[in-house]
Structure 1
Amino acid sequence: MKEFRILAPTGVLGAGFTPESLATGVALSPHVIACDAGSTDSGPAALGSGIPKLSDATVERDLRLLLRARAELGVPLIIGSCGTSGRDSGVDHLAELARSIAEEEQMSFTLALVYSEQSTDTLSELWDTGAIHPLDPPVPLDRDKLLSSTVVAMMGSEPIENALSRGADVVLAGRASDTALFAALPHMHGADAGLTWHAAKTIECGAACAVPPSADGLFVWLRDDHFDVRALQPGTRLTAQSVAAHTLYENIDPFKLKEPGGVLDTSTATYEQLDDTTVRVRGSKFEAADIYTNKLEGARARGFQTFAVGGIRDRAVIARIAQLIPMAQEHFTGKIESMFNSAVSPDDVDIDFTLYGANGVLGEREPEHTPSRELGILITVTAHTQEIAHSVCASVAHVVSHLPIPEYDGLASTVAYPFSPPETDRGPVYEFTINHVAAVAGPLDLFRTKIVVVGV
């Protein structure tokens, strides 16, 4: 029976894991260590700005421990979606951290850098040849919008397999399917595709499918007709239900999970509880696609933002809030031109009021409308310069704190601000621009790989 052992130390590089759990995983002699380092979950800022979400301190701590484990075992270490977004700068920055650690720890290894950021020439060719197709829900896209965006392509397992076949000990990849990181080594050696991709899906977020979920590790034994998955942190359980439930995480369909090269079908999978920490899975299938596609992710600057946060506890104000907010919106829309001597149009400034405690999360989809005793108010102003956004937000925050209430004579205080001054500049903000895939001739087409030797 062929067996592949895979260690997933945590859900994202920099989230942390206990040294004890890592040691437990290392003692089980994995053939590969893999870890995700990014996501679009936090929005478009990392892709648009190139600034990672997590700090160098936390990322370096995890990376150091994983490089030590890799050196001890002599197995590959694979990290994907470097720098949160998978931009080329994220790959290069993590490579610099790896080089620094290697020098301090007196390590040496062959390093593969797999880049996924797309040039304007590549994007132009994809657009001109009709290779870009919308996903659901469709996002309007034209050539100018595409070329004005920072775009990464999401790789499958093949670019990582290519790096491993070229002798890489450490693979630092740009934007990658989370599952591809864990599927790459067994896939390149002919393991059952259905079980490989299902095992990869199960451990992509580390111990997120454990009970309770945690930023820690899982271990997989992948065999010919099943895989076993085990939680590593003491006191953590893994159940058949928690493992099965993870197929719904970040997926609209719990049975059909799309990858660049096809679809994982878990509809015939079975889940068997072996003990409190281990579950056995059988019966998953993989349906290869007729056309290979890579998802494209794009972001661009939307403007600059300033916000203010306040609270409302007055019952009369809360009762009138549905009339007060539209009145405030109309007041400031009419005042924008006079504030800037007609140099700024109302269309150039977006003023948003979000009320927490009154449908602030779900908005119009909120099914329960109950009176609130207090409200949190978030005032967000977006404009094409920080100066305009700040100026408008300061004016809005001041006027909103004294909106006229019919129930009161004279000047009333409507909003209490916890900070002085109440307005805070966020700097540049970004928006996602693309929800599309690119049809390609081969799985390596949109990616570039560089092999370097690190250390002595």
Structure 2
Amino acid sequence: MTRHIRYLSPTGVLGVGFSENHFRAALSRDLAFIGCDAGSTDGGPANLGGNKPFFSRAAVKRDLRILVTGARSIGVPLLIGSCGGSGGNWNLNWVREIVLEIAQEEGLHFRLAVIESETPRELLLKKYREGRIRALDPAPEISEAVLTEADHIVAMMGAEAYVAALEGGADVVLAGRSTDAAIFAAIPVARGFPPGLCWHAAKIMECGGAAVVTMEKPEGMICTITDEHFTLEPVSPVQQCSPLSVAAHALYETADPYRMLEPGGEMDLTGARYEAVNERVVRVSGSAFNPMPYTVKLEGASRIGYRAMVLGGVRDPVILEQFDSWFDGLKDHIAENVEAVYGPSIRGQYQIHYKLYGKSGVMGDREPYPERIGNEIGLLMVTLAQTQEVAYAIAGQAAHMVLHHAVPQWQGLLSNLAFPIAPHFWNLGEAYQFVLNHVVELDDPLELHHIRYEEA
């Protein structure tokens, strides 16, 4: 009989939901493990910098209860990566507390491994001084001060950390920041299946059932890997995979659909072949993995101040006909007003970010048709200052300035901006930015990641 390994991914991200009945129907004792990604940088740096979860506690607990009870019912490991959205230590412990709560409520007993991804700063400084931290493109300038003062820095672990946790007897593994694919490649690679197939399958499986023809709602996927190929089958009986839908997944979140970097190597999909097994199942072969020096990506976030915002819409056709000149004058008017209140010393101490929807608001400078204007333009103004009070005050001033900024054709007092909600400006709270987009060279894949165990 052909050697194989099967595993299940229930959804693309923990907390977004999936159908419990489809998941339960897919559980069988020939599964080697269940894995689920829980994080992303899609929401920006605030999840990491400000210790904020990606989804609500109720949503994450709902999904976790199904996953933990399901995995324990068939006695297979459950691997969760990038816990809490960013994988920072606070976020990781937040998920740990939920899992312990579920174990208590369900009367479950299992060995839990927690893998931290926030690295001691002294170790990062040592790597930096040795010249072993390298910038990706694009990357901000870094210094020892950045590495010391960033609110949180995580190192994106590879597959080896999961393998080590399982070798330590873990039934459930909760990992900090992790590459998405490492969650699903760890066990197949450790069992000796071809790395190219393992990593390519993992890159698809980390998104759950996203590689189906039509994803009406988040569902899961089952992967079966042999020494010659892997197959993908949707968990939902009403969803299908096609060679096109599976191959197209290589375009998702990648700069190059043929080559994708992971800790310790590069996926090479130039020889990958996609074949339909039937109307629901696709077989993939020919994927390769080229070993490289072992590096892991660093993500860091630092607080840069506080934000407030204004949201409104302009529909006056007279203004729209001369919008660019009107808008340039408006920005100058706002700057003059802010200085009139706070004095010239405010220069450089605040920012206003303008976003125009209906006029290059989505694509920005890459918009191919910037001259096209519709019936209205949505105006978003986000202020940034060192205190919430100042950010809020400047937002209020900006809102009033745009409301009454004149054009030559109109006389008297104008009201240019329609506000969709009241109050029409409000606080956004602390603001963060990413301060690292770098990789660090490692001597040992585990040197940045501490594993601890407990009985749940």
Q: TM-score, normalization: structure 1?
A: 0.97
Structure 2 residue 309 is the aligned partner of structure 1 residue 277: no
| Separation (CA, whole Å) in 2 of partners of 1:433 and 1:9 | 33
Given that 2:6 and 2:224 are in contact with CA atoms closer than 8 Å, whether structure 1 keeps it comes out as yes
The gaps in structure 2 that reach 5 residues or longer are none
Secondary structure, in 3 states, of the residue corresponding to 2:355? strand
Q: State the match for 2:378 in structure 1.
A: 376
**Paired amino acid for 1:70:** A
Q: Which amino acid aligns with 2:355?
A: T
After TM superposition, list the pairs within 5 Å mapping 1:250-269 onto structure 2. 250-269=253-272
- How far 1:191 sits from its partner (Å)? 1.2
Aligned counterparts of 1:163 and 1:305: Cα–Cα separation in 2? 41
* Contact preservation (8 Å) 1:228, 1:279: yes
Match of 1:170 in 2: 172
Counterpart contact for 2:337–2:397, Cα < 8 Å: no
Residue 279 of structure 2 aligns to which amino acid in structure 1? D
- Judged with a 3 Å threshold, the aligned counterparts in structure 2 of structure 1 residues 198 and 28 are, in CA distance, closer, same or farther, namely farther
Provide the rounded CA distance (Å) in 2 between the counterparts of 1:334 and 1:65.
57
For 2:127 and 2:336, locate their aligned partners in 1 and report how far apart those are by CA, in whole Å. 44
Residue 76 (structure 1) aligned with residue 94 (structure 2): no
> Which stretch shows the higher mean deviation, 360-369 or 256-265?
360-369
What is the match of residue 235 of structure 1?
Answer: 238
Aligned partner of 2:413: which letter? Answer: L
Contact 1:334 1:346 in 2 (8 A): no
Match of 1:122 in 2: 123
Who is 2:248 aligned against? 245
Displacement of 1:28 in angstroms is 7.0
Paired with 1:315 and 1:54, the residues of 2 have a C-alpha distance of: 41
Count residues with an aligned counterpart: 452
The equivalent of 1:334 in structure 2 is 336
Between 1:320-329 and 1:39-48, the stretch displaced more is 320-329
Q: Which runs of 5+ in 1 are unaligned?
A: none
Secondary structure of the residue aligned to 1:401 is helix
By how many angstroms is 1:85 displaced? 0.4
Which residue number in structure 2 is paired with residue 51 of structure 1?
52
Q: Is the partner of 2:322 in helix, strand or coil? A: helix
The alignment partner of 1:54 has SS state of coil
User: Aligned partners of 1:165 and 1:275: how far apart in 2?
Assistant: 37
Residue 295 of structure 2 corresponds to: 293
| Cα distance between partner residues in 1 of 2:240 and 2:423 | 48
Aligned residue number for residue 87 of structure 1: 88
| Residues 2-39 of structure 1: per-residue CA shift (max 9 Å, x gap) | 21111000001111110122023204731100000001
Partner of 1:19: 20
Q: State the SS of the aligned residue for 2:38.
A: strand
Q: Percent identity?
A: 39
Tell me if structure 1 keeps the 8 A contact 2:10–2:221.
Answer: yes
Task: Check whether the contact 1:304–1:426 (CA below 8 A) recurs between aligned residues.
Answer: yes
User: In 1, distance between residues paired with 2:166 and 2:249?
Assistant: 28
1:325–1:353 Cα contact (<8 Å) kept: no
* Alpha-carbon shift at residue 226 of structure 1 (Å): 0.7
Verify: 1:310 aligned to 2:312, yes or no: yes
Verify the 8 A CA contact 2:29 2:75 in the aligned structure 1: no
Distance in 2 of aligned mates of 1:421 and 1:76: 50
Using the TM superposition, give the Cα deviation of residue 153 of structure 1 relative to its aligned residue in structure 2, in angstroms: 0.3
Alignment of 1:384-403 (within 5 A): 384-403=386-405
Mapped partners of 2:30, 2:102: distance in 1? 23
Match of 1:210 in 2: 212
The Cα shift of 1:437 comes to 0.1
Aligned equivalents of 1:370, 1:247: Cα separation in 2: 33
Tell me how far 1:163 sits from its aligned partner. Answer: 0.3
The code of the aligned residue for 2:442 comes to V
1:131 alignment partner AA: R
The answer on whether the counterparts of 1:405 and 1:412 sit within 8 Å (CA) in structure 2 is no
Task: Work out the CA distance in 1 between the residues paired with 2:144 and 2:227.
Answer: 47
Distance (whole Å) between structure 2 residues aligned to residue 120 and residue 278 of structure 1: 47
2:224 counterpart (217, 221, 226): 221
| RMSD (Å) for aligned C-alpha atoms | 1.2
Could you tell me how far apart the structure 2 residues matched to 1:64 and 1:419 are?
38
User: Is 1:136–2:106 an aligned residue pair?
Assistant: no
